[in-house]
Structure 1
Amino acid sequence: MKYRVNRIDVKSDNMQEKLENFINKMDGDLISIIPNVKPAFLVIGGAAKIDYILVVEKLKVK
């Protein structure tokens, strides 16, 4: 079995659209989606921000 890890750079306003487009165009099977969560400090307190998403794909063996 072979796997591929893809990186998708996202922002909070386009995250869902980019992920949907990528998943619909995948050749293999979706194994996992891993967000990169970074702390962000705002005036109102702490928060979190997602910079990119890693998508693990299982490739089809020919």
Structure 2
Amino acid sequence: MKYKVHHFELNMKEDQLKLEQFLNRLHGEVVSIVPNVKPIFRPMGATAKVDFLFIVEKIMN
């Protein structure tokens, strides 16, 4: 089996349609979507932000 890992830059508030179109264009099977979660510290407390996604695609022969 062959796999391909895609790096997908993401702005959670604006890129839902862009992500949907990207996933629909893939030819193989999506095995996993791994978010890169970055901690953010603000005066009111800590939170987190997703910067990008790794999308693992299984390539069909």
What code does the residue aligned with 2:23 have?
I
Aligned-pair identity in percent equals 43
Distance 1:18 1:41 in 2: 28
Q: TM-score, normalised by structure 1?
A: 0.89
Distance 1:12 1:43 in 2: 22
Which runs of at least 4 in structure 1 moved beyond 4 Å after TM superposition? none
Deviation at 1:33, TM superposition (A): 0.4
Distance 1:7 1:23 in 2: 12
Structure 1 vs Structure 2 CA RMSD = 1.0
Q: TM-score, normalised by structure 2?
A: 0.90
Instruction: Give the paired residue count.
Output: 61
Q: Specify every segment of 5 or more residues in structure 1 that has no aligned partner in the other structure, as ranges.
A: none
Distance 1:54 1:41 in 2: 24
Matching residue of 2:54: 54
